[in-house]
Structure 1
Amino acid sequence: MTTLYGIKNCDTIKKAKAWLSANNVEFTFHDYRADGLELEWLQNAEQALGWEQMLNKRGTTFRQLSDEQKQNINKESAMSLMLEHVAMIKRPILIHNNQYFIGFKADQYSEVFA
Protein backbone atom coordinates (compact mmCIF):
# COMPACT_ATOMS: atom_id res chain seq x y z
CA MET A 1 0.00 0.00 0.00
CA THR A 2 1.17 3.50 -0.83
CA THR A 3 0.12 6.66 0.98
CA LEU A 4 1.12 10.22 0.19
CA TYR A 5 0.92 12.71 3.05
CA GLY A 6 0.77 16.47 2.75
CA ILE A 7 -1.46 19.45 2.07
CA LYS A 8 -3.58 19.42 -1.09
CA ASN A 9 -2.74 22.95 -2.29
CA CYS A 10 1.04 22.44 -2.02
CA ASP A 11 2.76 22.61 -5.44
CA THR A 12 5.14 19.78 -4.57
CA ILE A 13 2.21 17.59 -3.57
CA LYS A 14 0.57 18.34 -6.92
CA LYS A 15 3.76 17.27 -8.72
CA ALA A 16 4.05 14.06 -6.69
CA LYS A 17 0.38 13.17 -7.27
CA ALA A 18 0.76 13.86 -10.99
CA TRP A 19 3.86 11.62 -11.16
CA LEU A 20 2.15 8.79 -9.28
CA SER A 21 -0.93 8.99 -11.50
CA ALA A 22 1.11 9.21 -14.72
CA ASN A 23 3.04 6.12 -13.66
CA ASN A 24 -0.10 4.17 -12.74
CA VAL A 25 0.80 3.93 -9.06
CA GLU A 26 -2.25 3.40 -6.89
CA PHE A 27 -2.05 5.56 -3.79
CA THR A 28 -4.10 7.13 -1.06
CA PHE A 29 -3.69 10.82 -0.29
CA HIS A 30 -3.83 11.96 3.34
CA ASP A 31 -4.30 15.71 3.74
CA TYR A 32 -2.97 16.83 7.12
CA ARG A 33 -5.46 19.68 7.29
CA ALA A 34 -8.57 17.86 6.09
CA ASP A 35 -7.85 14.40 7.55
CA GLY A 36 -5.97 15.42 10.68
CA LEU A 37 -2.66 14.30 12.09
CA GLU A 38 -2.12 11.75 14.84
CA LEU A 39 0.77 12.03 17.30
CA GLU A 40 1.54 8.32 16.78
CA TRP A 41 1.90 8.84 13.01
CA LEU A 42 4.18 11.84 13.58
CA GLN A 43 6.33 9.81 16.00
CA ASN A 44 6.63 6.93 13.52
CA ALA A 45 7.59 9.31 10.72
CA GLU A 46 10.14 10.99 12.98
CA GLN A 47 11.70 7.63 13.87
CA ALA A 48 12.04 6.80 10.17
CA LEU A 49 13.13 10.21 8.88
CA GLY A 50 14.40 12.28 11.81
CA TRP A 51 12.80 15.51 13.01
CA GLU A 52 15.49 17.71 11.45
CA GLN A 53 14.67 16.35 7.99
CA MET A 54 10.92 16.66 8.58
CA LEU A 55 10.91 20.26 9.82
CA ASN A 56 10.15 22.71 7.02
CA LYS A 57 12.34 25.73 7.80
CA ARG A 58 11.59 27.44 4.47
CA GLY A 59 7.88 27.90 5.04
CA THR A 60 6.04 30.96 6.27
CA THR A 61 4.94 29.25 9.48
CA PHE A 62 8.53 28.57 10.56
CA ARG A 63 9.70 32.05 9.57
CA GLN A 64 6.98 33.55 11.78
CA LEU A 65 8.42 31.90 14.89
CA SER A 66 10.33 34.12 17.29
CA ASP A 67 14.13 34.12 17.02
CA GLU A 68 14.25 32.47 20.43
CA GLN A 69 11.96 29.64 19.28
CA LYS A 70 14.08 29.08 16.16
CA GLN A 71 17.38 29.09 18.07
CA ASN A 72 16.17 26.74 20.81
CA ILE A 73 14.46 24.19 18.60
CA ASN A 74 14.97 20.57 19.58
CA LYS A 75 13.17 17.29 18.92
CA GLU A 76 10.50 17.92 21.56
CA SER A 77 9.70 21.48 20.48
CA ALA A 78 9.84 20.58 16.77
CA MET A 79 7.43 17.68 17.25
CA SER A 80 5.04 19.90 19.19
CA LEU A 81 5.20 22.61 16.51
CA MET A 82 4.67 20.13 13.67
CA LEU A 83 1.67 18.63 15.44
CA GLU A 84 0.17 22.07 16.03
CA HIS A 85 1.15 23.60 12.65
CA VAL A 86 1.07 20.84 10.02
CA ALA A 87 2.45 23.23 7.39
CA MET A 88 5.78 22.94 9.23
CA ILE A 89 6.15 19.35 8.01
CA LYS A 90 8.16 19.03 4.79
CA ARG A 91 6.08 17.68 1.96
CA PRO A 92 5.34 15.19 0.71
CA ILE A 93 5.98 12.22 2.92
CA LEU A 94 5.44 9.01 1.00
CA ILE A 95 5.02 5.66 2.70
CA HIS A 96 5.46 2.69 0.40
CA ASN A 97 5.92 -0.88 1.67
CA ASN A 98 6.44 0.50 5.19
CA GLN A 99 9.35 2.66 4.04
CA TYR A 100 9.30 6.44 4.44
CA PHE A 101 10.46 8.94 1.82
CA ILE A 102 10.39 12.71 2.10
CA GLY A 103 10.19 15.33 -0.63
CA PHE A 104 9.53 14.73 -4.30
CA LYS A 105 12.13 13.97 -6.93
CA ALA A 106 11.01 12.06 -10.01
CA ASP A 107 14.27 10.05 -10.05
CA GLN A 108 13.75 8.94 -6.47
CA TYR A 109 10.14 7.93 -7.14
CA SER A 110 11.31 5.99 -10.22
CA GLU A 111 13.67 3.99 -8.00
CA VAL A 112 11.05 3.44 -5.29
CA PHE A 113 8.51 2.08 -7.78
CA ALA A 114 10.93 0.24 -10.09
Structure 2
Amino acid sequence: MVVYGIPNCNTVKKSLDWLKAHQIDFEFHDFKKKGITPEKLNKWCDTFGWEIVLNRKGLTWKKLTKEEQATIDNQEKAITYLVENTSAIKRPIIEKEEVAILISFDESLYSQTLA
Protein backbone atom coordinates (compact mmCIF):
# COMPACT_ATOMS: atom_id res chain seq x y z
CA MET A 1 0.00 0.00 0.00
CA VAL A 2 1.24 3.48 -0.87
CA VAL A 3 0.18 6.71 0.80
CA TYR A 4 0.66 9.79 -1.38
CA GLY A 5 0.88 13.21 0.23
CA ILE A 6 3.17 15.72 1.86
CA PRO A 7 4.46 15.13 5.38
CA ASN A 8 3.58 18.51 6.90
CA CYS A 9 -0.13 18.27 5.97
CA ASN A 10 -2.38 17.76 9.02
CA THR A 11 -4.74 15.45 7.13
CA VAL A 12 -1.81 13.31 5.99
CA LYS A 13 -0.50 13.21 9.57
CA LYS A 14 -3.91 11.97 10.81
CA SER A 15 -3.95 9.32 8.13
CA LEU A 16 -0.42 8.11 8.88
CA ASP A 17 -1.12 8.08 12.63
CA TRP A 18 -4.26 6.00 12.02
CA LEU A 19 -2.38 3.51 9.83
CA LYS A 20 0.41 3.16 12.39
CA ALA A 21 -2.08 2.74 15.26
CA HIS A 22 -3.77 -0.06 13.31
CA GLN A 23 -0.40 -1.63 12.42
CA ILE A 24 -1.00 -1.34 8.68
CA ASP A 25 2.17 -1.38 6.60
CA PHE A 26 2.55 1.32 3.99
CA GLU A 27 5.07 3.15 1.87
CA PHE A 28 4.94 6.95 1.89
CA HIS A 29 5.34 8.89 -1.36
CA ASP A 30 6.08 12.57 -0.75
CA PHE A 31 4.94 14.16 -3.98
CA LYS A 32 6.62 17.44 -3.01
CA LYS A 33 9.98 15.66 -3.25
CA LYS A 34 9.27 12.82 -5.67
CA GLY A 35 6.72 14.56 -7.87
CA ILE A 36 3.76 12.90 -9.54
CA THR A 37 3.15 11.84 -13.12
CA PRO A 38 0.28 12.94 -15.34
CA GLU A 39 -0.53 9.23 -15.79
CA LYS A 40 -0.96 8.75 -12.03
CA LEU A 41 -3.09 11.90 -11.78
CA ASN A 42 -5.26 10.69 -14.67
CA LYS A 43 -5.87 7.39 -12.85
CA TRP A 44 -6.86 9.23 -9.69
CA CYS A 45 -9.11 11.60 -11.62
CA ASP A 46 -10.76 8.66 -13.35
CA THR A 47 -11.41 7.09 -9.93
CA PHE A 48 -12.46 10.12 -7.86
CA GLY A 49 -13.17 12.83 -10.44
CA TRP A 50 -10.78 15.68 -11.22
CA GLU A 51 -12.91 18.09 -9.19
CA ILE A 52 -12.18 15.99 -6.07
CA VAL A 53 -8.45 15.48 -6.75
CA LEU A 54 -7.99 19.23 -7.21
CA ASN A 55 -7.99 20.69 -3.70
CA ARG A 56 -9.85 23.98 -4.01
CA LYS A 57 -9.79 24.60 -0.25
CA GLY A 58 -6.01 24.86 0.07
CA LEU A 59 -3.73 27.88 -0.03
CA THR A 60 -2.12 26.90 -3.32
CA TRP A 61 -5.48 27.15 -5.10
CA LYS A 62 -6.55 30.25 -3.21
CA LYS A 63 -3.39 32.08 -4.31
CA LEU A 64 -4.65 31.96 -7.89
CA THR A 65 -6.76 34.82 -9.18
CA LYS A 66 -10.41 34.11 -9.96
CA GLU A 67 -9.50 34.36 -13.64
CA GLU A 68 -6.72 31.79 -13.28
CA GLN A 69 -9.02 29.48 -11.35
CA ALA A 70 -11.68 29.79 -14.04
CA THR A 71 -9.27 28.52 -16.72
CA ILE A 72 -8.87 25.18 -14.91
CA ASP A 73 -12.19 23.77 -16.03
CA ASN A 74 -11.50 20.20 -17.14
CA GLN A 75 -9.40 17.17 -16.26
CA GLU A 76 -6.60 17.89 -18.74
CA LYS A 77 -6.08 21.43 -17.46
CA ALA A 78 -6.33 20.28 -13.85
CA ILE A 79 -3.64 17.65 -14.39
CA THR A 80 -1.32 20.15 -16.07
CA TYR A 81 -1.79 22.46 -13.08
CA LEU A 82 -1.36 19.68 -10.48
CA VAL A 83 1.88 18.31 -11.97
CA GLU A 84 3.40 21.76 -11.45
CA ASN A 85 1.59 22.49 -8.15
CA THR A 86 1.53 19.24 -6.20
CA SER A 87 0.39 21.06 -3.06
CA ALA A 88 -2.98 21.51 -4.76
CA ILE A 89 -3.62 17.75 -4.83
CA LYS A 90 -6.19 16.62 -2.27
CA ARG A 91 -4.39 14.40 0.18
CA PRO A 92 -3.64 11.83 1.20
CA ILE A 93 -4.43 9.41 -1.60
CA ILE A 94 -4.05 5.75 -0.73
CA GLU A 95 -3.39 3.11 -3.33
CA LYS A 96 -3.56 -0.61 -2.78
CA GLU A 97 -2.06 -2.76 -5.53
CA GLU A 98 -1.78 0.37 -7.70
CA VAL A 99 -5.50 1.11 -7.44
CA ALA A 100 -6.53 4.32 -5.66
CA ILE A 101 -8.98 3.36 -2.94
CA LEU A 102 -9.16 6.36 -0.57
CA ILE A 103 -8.76 10.12 -0.78
CA SER A 104 -8.48 12.47 2.22
CA PHE A 105 -9.04 11.11 5.72
CA ASP A 106 -12.28 9.75 7.10
CA GLU A 107 -11.82 7.41 10.04
CA SER A 108 -15.00 5.41 9.36
CA LEU A 109 -14.04 4.88 5.70
CA TYR A 110 -10.53 3.87 6.74
CA SER A 111 -12.02 1.36 9.21
CA GLN A 112 -14.36 -0.09 6.58
CA THR A 113 -11.76 -0.22 3.82
CA LEU A 114 -8.48 -1.00 5.57
CA ALA A 115 -9.08 -2.59 8.98
Per the normalisation by structure 1, the TM-score is 0.92
Matched ranges for 1:18-97 at <5 A: 18-74=17-73, 75-97=75-97
The gaps in structure 2 that reach 5 residues or longer are none
**What is the SS of the residue equivalent to 1:35?**
coil
CA distance in 2: counterparts of 1:58 and 1:99, whole angstroms: 21
**What is the SS of the residue equivalent to 1:33?**
coil
**What is the SS of the residue equivalent to 1:5?**
strand
The letter of the residue matching 2:106 is K
The gaps in structure 1 that reach 5 residues or longer are none
1:17 is matched with 16
Per the normalisation by structure 2, the TM-score is 0.91
CA shift for structure 1 position 99: 4.0
CA shift for structure 1 position 30: 0.4
Q: Can you list the C-alpha shifts for 1:47-67, whole angstroms capped at 9, x where unaligned?
A: 111100111111111111121
CA shift for structure 1 position 76: 2.0
- Contact preservation (8 Å) 2:5, 2:29: yes
- Contact preservation (8 Å) 1:49, 1:100: no
Task: Give the ranges of 4+ consecutive aligned residues of structure 1 lying more than 3 Å apart after TM superposition.
Answer: none
